[in-house]
Amino acid sequence: MDVAKTLTFSVGPLVDQTTGTNETYSFHGPVKFEGIIPATDMKGRVEIMRIDEGFNVAIRNTEIKVKLSCEKCLKPITTTIKLDFFEKQFFLDEPKQPEDPNDLYLVDKKHLTINLAEPLRQEIILHFPVVQVCSESCKGICPKCGTDLNKKKCKCKIDPKNDRSDKPLAALKELIKK
Ligand SMILES: [Zn+2]
Ligand SMILES: [Zn+2]
């Protein structure tokens, strides 16, 4: 299955139906999201319901494994992201006063399809684990010499007040902010 097709659904059968009519689809296939590295295909279930302005889309039981890196030692790790339920509205015509322009989704009226890639991308990122570590006992890398402290010790003296060895990424993010 083609990456672009996994998360594209036809609303053609529903467009001429009355409000409240719905269809359910399952999906399972390869996906691509900006800023996310999938480690598996994605699967889930979608219920599309005709509403006055377009369609209400309920997305259920979604699961995907994604690749992240350990915050302490930067080693690659794989995490399962499960999204039980969320819903979005897809509009046939752009509302004149959208509630939130960043959360506005439109039906592709030419092909009568909707694409769930962007709402799913945002939802996956919201569900990233708060603490991303390869193991709870990970010792991280030395902020001075870069030695992987899981593998060996180094001779650097770390000022305990300034110890960022457990959070190289946090230290990096602070640097970027300045
Ligand atoms: Zn680690
Ligand atoms: Zn060191």
Ligand that comes closest to the CA of residue 140: 1
Give strand pairing partners of 78: 67
Give the ligand at the shortest distance from the Cα of 72.
Answer: 1
> 111 C-alpha vs ligand 2 centroid, how far in Å?
58
Answer whether 61's CB lies under 8 Å from 45's CB.
yes
**How far apart are the C-alpha atoms of 170 and 176, rounded to whole Å?**
10
Average predicted confidence (pLDDT) for the chain: 90
> If DSSP codes are grouped into helix, strand and coil, which group holds residue 6?
helix
Between the CA of residue 174 and those of 52, 116, 129, what are the distances in Å? 47, 33, 20
Q: If you average pLDDT over residues 32-46, what whole number do you get?
A: 95
Residue 170 has pLDDT above 80, yes or no: no
Q: Compute the distance from residue 71 Cα to the ligand 2 centre, in Å.
A: 17
Rounded to whole angstroms, how far apart are CA atoms 61 and 31?
Answer: 16
The tokens of 37 are what? 């590295």
Per-residue pLDDT tens digits for 60-107: 999 999 999 999 999 999 999 999 999 999 999 998 887 888 889 999
Q: What is the pLDDT of residue 18?
A: 97
Statement: residue 29 has pLDDT above 60: yes
**Best CA proximity match to 139, nearest among 131, 147, 130:** 147
CA of 92 to the centre of ligand 1 (A): 47
Q: How many helices (H) and strands (E) does the chain have?
A: 4, 8
Q: Which residues contact 33 (CB under 8 A, 6 or more apart)?
A: 117, 120, 121, 124
Q: Is it the case that residue 53 has pLDDT exceeding 80?
A: yes
| CA distances from residue 2 to 30, 106, 119, 175 in whole angstroms, order as listed | 7, 22, 19, 40
Is the pLDDT confidence value at 169 over 90? no
Length of the chain as a residue count: 178
- Residues around the ion ligand 2 (C-beta < 5 A): 142, 144-145, 147, 154, 156
